[in-house]
Amino acid sequence: MKITVINGTEKHGVTYRLKESFLDQLRNDSEITEFYLPKDCPNFCVGCMTCFGDDEHKCKDAEYVQKIEMAMLEADLLVFTSPAYVFHTTGAMKAMLDHFGYRWMPHRPAKEMFGKRAVIITQCLGAGGRSTAKDIKDSLSWWGVSSIRVISFKLMSEVRWDKISEKKRDKMTAKLVDVARRVKNTDFSKPAVTGIVTRFKFYAVRMMQTGLGKDNPEYTDYKYWKERGWLEDKRPWK
């Protein structure tokens, strides 16, 4: 199995330790590619709109963005990790997700994403772990991913791994081991089922693209949808 991990922090802290506990269960039979942010996608989107209106390969940050994109498209499982920073995902993760705005369904979603599976691991001291996961889940689901499992922890007492009680660490690890076991039992030769919400979004966008194409048949996103036959009877899921 191929796993691509996007880490919302470079710090080898609690988020890192939790992610390692999860991956440890899968290492034997997996090929793992990891990205650490901001190092592996260091620049902000500047809003030039080139990716939306013209070509994502012309983005000033394409060398970083396309490397991450390739690894995500090739992966059987996507793993995203982030601590809560003021109730949301880290700025580094948000900056990376902004670069993938062109992959949102109203624009040019990648076919591969519709059969993809993802796990999001977040943690916080007291509150904000869920909204952190939602920041990431919003992008994943608009990219077309339906199978998204969220694991979110509240530390409650300490934010340094070595100061967290053994009991608490064991409890968090047990939860991650359990999810990893379910991942191991998944048949990755079959794509994940594309859920009803994703299908609904697809059909709504399909209608929108049909209208946009009538106004301007040269519109980049319309041409993308048309070329794939999505405006006729083809679908990005099986």
Residues that bind ligand FMN (CB under 6 A): 9, 11, 13-15, 83-87, 123-128, 155, 159
3-state DSSP assignment of residue 147: strand
Q: How far apart are CA 15 and CA 23, in angstroms?
A: 12
Q: How near is the Cβ of 154 to ligand FMN at its closest, in Å?
A: 7
Which residue's Cβ lies closest to ligand FMN? 13
Apex CA 181: angle with CA 193 and CA 24, to 5°?
A: 120
Closest CB to ligand FMN among 123 and 146?
A: 123
Closest CB to ligand FMN among 160 and 167?
A: 160
Q: Which two tokens stand for residue 133?
A: 């996961």
Closest CB to ligand FMN among 86 and 196?
A: 86
Q: How near is the Cβ of 150 to ligand FMN at its closest, in Å?
A: 15
Apex CA 47: angle with CA 218 and CA 104, to 5°?
A: 60
Q: How near is the Cβ of 11 to ligand FMN at its closest, in Å?
A: 5
Q: How near is the Cβ of 161 to ligand FMN at its closest, in Å?
A: 7
Closest CB to ligand FMN among 65 and 151?
A: 151
Angle, helix 196-215 to helix 129-143, in steps of 10 degrees: 50
Element (H, E) at 134: helix 129-143
